[in-house]
Amino acid sequence: MKNVVYDVIVIGGGASGMMSAGVAAMNGKKVLLLEKNKNLGEKLKISGGGRCNITNAEEDIHKFLKFYDESKDFLYSSFSQFKNTDTFSFFEKKKLPLVVEDRKRAFPYTEKAIDVFNVLKKYMDDGGVVVKSNSSVLKILNEDKNIIGVKTKEETFYAKSFVLATGGVSHPETGSTGDGFKWLKDLGHTVKDPTPTIVPLRVKEKWVHALAGVSLQKIKIYFYLDGKKQFVNKGDVLCTHFGLSGPLILNSSKKVADLLHEGIVTAKIDIYPLVDIGELEKKIIKIFDLNKNKILKNIINEIAPAGILRGLEVLFKDIDFNKKVHSITKEERRNISDGLKALPVTIDGLMGYDRAVVADGGVILTEIDTKTMRSMLYNNLYITGDLLHITRPTGGFSLQLCWTTGYVVGMHA
């Protein structure tokens, strides 16, 4: 009979792994955390562009859980134990208050993801969690539907309970390479293969590429399949050298991915969704009348978002933007106004895991006791975060899933 050294072994030192290790340790458990990287929390440190969209401030739990689509009914029990308001309390008690921005996105008031990491690291240290980095798990050992140990290159570790918190496959440069998916399949779990679900879109049009770095705010975008309108979204878009990104695009990418399997996907961007084409034309005519003797390109910022001139010059090659405004024909002026209401986009495809904010895939929830996040197949195996097959949008919902499942596992493992 092998000696049990630890109460809990956590595999993976990301957001959910650190949370589960800290909570278990604070409950008096002897905890070992194994991390294959040199440092913990590599993906957490770059989340939200380094600002860390830590959760979402939607107070209605029913509305909150709707963002997890078909998984919502499985999550009520775990979220009743630790929800988004508990995340606010957790970090604020540790002297890291949160601030709420548009779309109810919550960030640390310092706007630094590293501060979120430091709170979790201190939390684990205070609980006495033993951390072994550079410790890649080679094999998970099991007997009679119980996990008995994990084998690394250096040694084998034993415990009463085990937590898989290795993350999914987005941002593989941070170590999220899907190891947990393979182990779970080997253990007999049904694992959905991952696909990038929150990713930028690759587009054909050169006018978009010319605007790399330009943000188009509070716009509306219509998506079409073989010329027929499918859905519309509103929000902010970031133009890049390969296509489109930003919150609106990331939250549309899963639907776009489904459409790409069926045919040609195009889109139209409406820069002025709050006014109709007639009102926009009147606005442009008024601006033109006030600036008759000025060069067109010098007044573009008065009728279009800052920085968009580069794209318009590519899109409207027949218009000389170096002409004076009074020389612009009625047809040219109308082309500009029509364009600002329906900038054309052709979707070439989705970017890959390297640019994904979230990739779906993982263990199906019917094989998880979501009251405890325990495997239905192994009495002492617990699964957290991105290893669960749960689709969610940007806006703080992914990290909240990590905090919730990590806390629940820490309480029950």
The tens digit of pLDDT for each residue in 220-248 reads 999 999 899 999 999 889 998 888 988 88
259 and 323 inside one domain: yes
**Percentage of the chain exceeding pLDDT 70:** 93
- From residue 68, give the alpha-carbon distance in Å to each of 105, 107, 247, 394: 16, 20, 17, 11
221 and 322 inside one domain: yes
CB-based contact 34:150 (threshold 8 Å):
yes
328 and 393 inside one domain: no
User: Can you tell me the distance from the alpha carbon of 127 to that of 224, in angstroms, rounded to the nearest whole number?
Assistant: 53
User: CA geometry: angle at 6 spanning 82 and 148, to 5°?
Assistant: 95
| Nearest of 338, 344, 340, 412 to residue 373 by alpha carbon | 412
CB-based contact 52:44 (threshold 8 Å):
yes
37 and 166 inside one domain: yes
Residues 6 or more apart in contact with residue 291 via CB below 8 angstroms: 299, 302, 325
Establish if 401 belongs to a structural domain: yes
Q: How many domains does the chain have?
A: 2
Establish if 132 belongs to a structural domain: yes
What pLDDT score was predicted for residue 169? Answer: 43
For residue 169, give its domain range.
6-195+358-412
User: Residue 371 burial (CB < 10 Å; 0-12/13-18/19+)?
Assistant: middle
Establish if 27 belongs to a structural domain: yes
Angle between helices 397-412 and 84-93 (to 10 degrees): 80
What pLDDT score was predicted for residue 74? Answer: 94
Establish if 1 belongs to a structural domain: no
Q: What is the mean pLDDT of the chain?
A: 89
What pLDDT score was predicted for residue 391? Answer: 80
CB-based contact 400:205 (threshold 8 Å):
no
How many CB atoms sit inside 10 A of residue 106's CB?
24
User: CA geometry: angle at 319 spanning 314 and 320, to 5°?
Assistant: 100
| Residue numbers in the chain where pLDDT is lower than 50 | 1, 168-176
Domain boundary (351, 376, 396) is at 351
What pLDDT score was predicted for residue 366? Answer: 95
Backbone angles phi, psi at 80, to 5 degrees: -70, -20
Backbone angles phi, psi at 321, to 5 degrees: -75, -5
User: Can you tell me the distance from the alpha carbon of 403 to that of 9, in angstroms, rounded to the nearest whole number?
Assistant: 18
Query: Residue 88: in which H helix or E strand, if any?
Result: helix 84-93
395 and 319 inside one domain: no
